[in-house]
Chain A
Amino acid sequence: MLLEVNGLTKAFAGLVAVNEVDFTVQKGEILGLIGPNGAGKTTIFHLLTGYYTPTAGTVLFNGKDMTRVTPPAACRLGLTRTFQIVKPLVQLTVLENVMVGAFAKIGNAKKAKELALEILEFTGQLACKDMLAGNLTLGMRKRLEVSRALATQPELLLLDETMAGLNSKEIADAVKLIMKIRERGITLVVIEHVMKAIMSISDRIVVINYGKKIMEGCPDAVCNDQQVIQAYLGADYAKR
């Protein structure tokens, strides 16, 4: 078991944003995390990577307790996330952005650059390596988030809506990229609203609503679950 989440809870004053959520992630799989806006998906990512401290519950990553971990420590342990609202280092080039990620495990600038170039080729961003990150289109920025996170050489990668706002061709490319990342031996947890995409890439899906896990299972089972349809997908989706 790569990741074990037990009774994870986060309360902000009176509001319980995440309420006793349990799930596990196996090595090598892709776990989809879906649910309506405000359900608490991103909060879960914040809790897993140390941006928030859980009110209750435990997170075990490779058997190691992550409940009190800080974000940089989580990254160095092999658990890296991307941000839904992209955070490019705007005054650095694409290559330099990815080098910053590479420095997490590599001290030498030359070697970091080699890894960064390899990653950019892998993600298909080599052509724009010398562009300033601040000048990229949204699609490229989203992809840069992924490239940069990959450069930290994670074991588990948390992708937070890397397809939101992309056109259909870009979404197809993003799906291909996620499958390629899995082939690299990296385990993924993916938050996504693009249903077609998440259903096609995920091995299992966890559905969150009002901070609670309402369903967990393979994509087909989730699509046909009455509760999920009511809370999130809508009746139309089930008929299709």
Chain B
Amino acid sequence: MTKWNDILKNRHLPAVLLALIALVLPLVLRNEYYLHLAILILLWTALGASWNLLGGYTGQVSFGHSVFFGMGAYVSLLLHTKLGVSLWMGLLYAGIAASLIAIPIGWICFRLRGPYFSLSILAFSEVLRLIVLHWKEVTEGAVGILLINSIVDSKVSFYYLMLIVTAIILLVVNFVVKRKLGFYFIAIRDDEEAAEALGIYTTRYKIYSLMISAFFTGVMGSLFANYTSYIDPYIVFSVGDVAIAMVLVVVLGGIGTFWGPLVGAICVVMVNEGSRLMFANASVLIYGALVVIVILFLPKGVVGSLKQYTGKWFHA
């Protein structure tokens, strides 16, 4: 009896249960469409968690994460189609490329604060999209890149690949926020002047946060490219469908919370699909209305608001 109590009280229990459910899900969901939804939820959880490290924990709200997503997608597919680099290595190179481009972007944009930072990084995403669009010799421009053989061939294997990467991202975020790096990120978010007085080189640590966030966003861009087998500049550098969607996932789920991205991803994917089935072209309207409702009634997001009532349970 006490043993069961110990297990039930273990704070890792929710995570373990979720992992188990995620592992057996493809065995239950025989339907390809449902599996597709599950993959989308994982994609958005991972993207949300990456964004959350910078936006939620470090307090730097980026409206331009599409720059890293697109960078990752293009780097891995171009290396593969032009130079024959394996798509597995491409995942890694995508992350590294996104992380490297984050250095000059951060160095420039972190001179600005608040909404000015948010918008300046958005400008970078647009600049990169235009470069990719017009540098046809290398990038094929608006024609885009078609991938003949993807990294894995079945939907089920893709699901597991996505699950592994998402789990790694969540574990790394959890690892980072409990150490010096994470304390420094939160200190910068809560009060930048106080952080400086306590010996924190704020710009440097913001760039570290951006680099980690960009690395994972780049990897997810590469995975997304593999999943859809086709990319063009309008898709992967999309401010609305990628950058703003990442913000929404986290804001809906709960900014700066560990489970926020997952909850937000489930909400966004379900509402998106549900409203598309029911309202066709009016789905964006429904989506917008949902965002307004959440911001009005749950300003801390679903997880953030739950945390207020349930105390520590959600504090992972």
- Residues of A whose CB lies within 8 Å of any CB of B are 49, 51, 70-72, 75-76, 80-83, 87-92, 96, 99-101, 103-105, 107-109, 112, 148-149, 152
Name the B residues within 8 Å of A90 (CB-CB).
190-191
Cα distance A83–B191 when bound, in Å? 12
Cα distance A91–B191 when bound, in Å? 10
Given contacts A87-B191, A89-B190, contact A72 B196 (CB under 8 A): yes
Cα distance A107–B180 when bound, in Å? 7
Set A72, A88, A107, A112: member contacting B202, Cβ < 8 A: A72
Query: CB within 8 Å of A: which of B171-189?
Result: 178-180, 183-184, 186-187, 189
Cβ of B36 to closest chain A Cβ, rounded Å: 37
Contact A71 B197 (CB under 8 A): yes
Contact B199 A104 (CB under 8 A): yes
Return 11 A-B CB contacts under 8 Å, by A number: A51-B196, A71-B193, A72-B201, A72-B202, A75-B196, A83-B194, A96-B183, A107-B180, A148-B198, A152-B198, A152-B199
Cβ of B252 to closest chain A Cβ, rounded Å: 20
- Residues of B whose CB lies within 8 Å of any CB of A are 178-180, 183-184, 186-187, 189-191, 193-202, 256
Extra contacts, 9 of them, besides A100-B183, A112-B180 (Cβ < 8 A), are A72-B202, A82-B197, A83-B193, A83-B194, A87-B197, A89-B190, A89-B191, A89-B195, A109-B179
Given contacts A89-B191, A92-B190, A109-B178, contact A75 B197 (CB under 8 A): yes
Q: Which of B196, B197, B256 has most A Cβ within 10 Å?
A: B197
Cβ of A50 to closest chain B Cβ, rounded Å: 8
Cβ of A107 to closest chain B Cβ, rounded Å: 6
The 8 closest A-B pairs by CB, nearest first: A104-B199, A87-B194, A75-B199, A71-B196, A89-B190, A87-B191, A100-B187, A103-B180
Name the A residues within 8 Å of B179 (CB-CB).
109
Q: Which of A49, A81, A82, A92 has most B Cβ within 10 Å?
A: A92
Cα distance A81–B193 when bound, in Å? 11
Cα distance A143–B191 when bound, in Å? 17
Contact A72 B186 (CB under 8 A): no
Cα distance A71–B256 when bound, in Å? 27
Name the A residues within 8 Å of B187 (CB-CB).
89, 92, 100
Cα distance A223–B183 when bound, in Å? 45
Name the B residues within 8 Å of A148 (CB-CB).
198
Set B180, B183, B199: member contacting A76, Cβ < 8 A: B199
Q: Which of A81, A83, A96, A103 has most B Cβ within 10 Å?
A: A103
Cα distance A104–B200 when bound, in Å? 7
Name the A residues within 8 Å of B184 (CB-CB).
100, 103
Cβ of B101 to closest chain A Cβ, rounded Å: 26
Cα distance A101–B189 when bound, in Å? 15
Contact A49 B197 (CB under 8 A): yes
Name the B residues within 8 Å of A80 (CB-CB).
197-199
Contact B200 A72 (CB under 8 A): yes
Cβ of A103 to closest chain B Cβ, rounded Å: 5
Name the A residues within 8 Å of B186 (CB-CB).
89, 91-92, 96, 100
Given contacts A89-B186, A90-B190, A92-B190, contact A101 B198 (CB under 8 A): yes
Cα distance A87–B190 when bound, in Å? 9
Name the A residues within 8 Å of B191 (CB-CB).
87-90
Cα distance A149–B187 when bound, in Å? 14
Name the B residues within 8 Å of A149 (CB-CB).
197-198
Q: Looking across the interface, which residue of chain B has its beta carbon closest to that of A77? A: B199
Cβ of A79 to closest chain B Cβ, rounded Å: 10
Name the A residues within 8 Å of B194 (CB-CB).
83, 87-89
Q: Looking across the interface, which residue of chain B has its beta carbon closest to that of A112? A: B180
Name the B residues within 8 Å of A72 (CB-CB).
196-202
Name the B residues within 8 Å of A109 (CB-CB).
178-180, 183
Name the B residues within 8 Å of A70 (CB-CB).
196, 201
Name the B residues within 8 Å of A107 (CB-CB).
180
Contact A83 B183 (CB under 8 A): no
Q: Looking across the interface, which residue of chain A has its beta carbon closest to that of B196? A: A71
Cβ of B147 to closest chain A Cβ, rounded Å: 42
Cα distance A49–B193 when bound, in Å? 12
Given contacts A72-B199, A72-B200, A152-B198, contact A103 B183 (CB under 8 A): yes
Contact A99 B183 (CB under 8 A): yes
Cβ of A93 to closest chain B Cβ, rounded Å: 11
Q: Looking across the interface, which residue of chain B has its beta carbon closest to that of A153? A: B199
Cβ of B282 to closest chain A Cβ, rounded Å: 38
Cβ of A116 to closest chain B Cβ, rounded Å: 11
Name the B residues within 8 Å of A152 (CB-CB).
198-199
Q: Looking across the interface, which residue of chain A has its beta carbon closest to that of B183? A: A100
Q: Looking across the interface, which residue of chain A has its beta carbon closest to that of B201? A: A72
Name the B residues within 8 Å of A108 (CB-CB).
180
Name the A residues within 8 Å of B256 (CB-CB).
91
Cβ of A110 to closest chain B Cβ, rounded Å: 10
Name the B residues within 8 Å of A112 (CB-CB).
180
